[in-house]
Amino acid sequence: MRKFLIPLVSAGLVLGLSVAPAAAAAPGEPAMVMVMKHQCDESIQSEADFEALEAKAATNPETPMDVPSLGATAETVLACPVVVQPGDGQTPDAVGGGEQSFDFSVQADGTSWTLTQDATFSGDNGFDTPVEDFACESDIGYDADRSGTIDEDVCLDFSSYSFADVPEGQVTVTETSAPDGTRFGTVRLTPPELSDDAAIGLSFDATGRISFDSSADGDEMVMLHVYNFVGEKMPDAAMSAPATGVTLPLTLLGLGSLLAAGGTALAVRRVRS
């Protein structure tokens, strides 16, 4: 199996990044900003709905109690699968939301980029970055389909988009175009158990404007999980980022299926080697 950039704990082995605190980067040094796009089903209409979804992991008998955010992340990807730009492929037979049109802008140190023009796709038919574009139940130790067993071939898609050489420091990421029929909903980061992303001082509002200081992140990579809610009505008040419980870059999961009319149907896939 290809290595993960995000650390996974399995049988006492830590893969990828160290979970030890890393020194802050110097402002102006090049770093990577990544965006993973999720589209939620109609049951998720507010931050409160989203937090209830994350809490659902606690009712799963197979929840890894030492790192519960892994299960919380899996639950959010089941209800809010990753979507990609038209023409960008997702992991075959893994849970994914399909193709949608959307765009983001990034501003840092007086320079601007757009996702559709300047970002690199990391997915099934995209550039092979160090960040994995899927992960399975066995990778995260979570029974996502609640079958009673943790399987190697039940997986979630985590395709994402990367902006390289973004200067460390104050960064603003804005969702400039949302998939049809949706609005900006919320944002999560890699959980603090697995990275130092929580130190960046993430803030965001209901317009889809996301701000942070990437120089506070020691691994020179920030992953934003951006979730859209169905419907055009914007929330009445601006949102603020949760202080804890930020989501792990689901660049470590991958589960098969598409949202069906009555809910989410899980499929399986063979793990890549």
Q: Is the pLDDT of residue 135 over 90?
A: no
Q: What average pLDDT does the segment 207-225 reach?
A: 91
Lowest mean pLDDT among 56-65, 66-75, 77-86, 230-239: 230-239
Write down the pLDDT at residue 139.
83
Query: Is the confidence at residue 20, as pLDDT, over 80?
Result: no
CA angle 176, 181, 184 (to 5 degrees): 45
Residue 215 pLDDT > 80, yes or no? yes
pLDDT tens digits along 144-195: 889 998 888 889 898 999 999 999 999 999 999 999 999 999 999 977 766 7
Mean pLDDT over each residue of the chain, to the nearest integer: 76
